[in-house]
């Protein structure tokens, strides 16, 4: 599974209003993965690094 973090230029549906919603989606995606999971995101986003680490626990 490959999860990629990117910038949304427009939020027409309001899919992820805050970081806790993003964390919930990452946790559920990792739980459903049958094989190795890869996440691609900016190394400058330290909050995302912590969020992903917590999601893996």
Query: pLDDT tens-digit profile of 6-15?
Result: 766 666 666 6
35 in a domain, yes or no?
Answer: yes
Cα(52)–Cα(11) distance, integer angstroms: 22
43 in a domain, yes or no?
Answer: yes
41 in a domain, yes or no?
Answer: yes
Number of domains making up the chain: 1
11 in a domain, yes or no?
Answer: no
pLDDT given at position 48 = 81
pLDDT given at position 41 = 82
30 in a domain, yes or no?
Answer: yes
pLDDT given at position 15 = 66
Q: Tokens at residue 6, please?
A: 């990117």
31 in a domain, yes or no?
Answer: yes
SS3 assignment, position 40? strand
pLDDT given at position 29 = 84
Q: Bigger pLDDT: 16 or 3?
A: 3
Cα(39)–Cα(57) distance, integer angstroms: 15
Cα(41)–Cα(43) distance, integer angstroms: 6
Query: pLDDT tens-digit profile of 20-45?
Result: 888 888 888 888 877 888 888 888 87
Q: Which domain holds residue 38?
A: 2-6+16-56
Q: Tokens at residue 21, please?
A: 């919603």
């Amino acid at each position: 599974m490959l999860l990629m973090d990117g910038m949304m230029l427009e939020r027409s549906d309001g899919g992820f209003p805050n970081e806790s919603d993003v964390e919930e989606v990452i946790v559920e995606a990792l739980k459903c993965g049958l094989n190795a999971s890869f996440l691609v995101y900016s190394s400058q986003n330290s909050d995302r690094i912590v969020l992903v680490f917590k999601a893996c626990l």
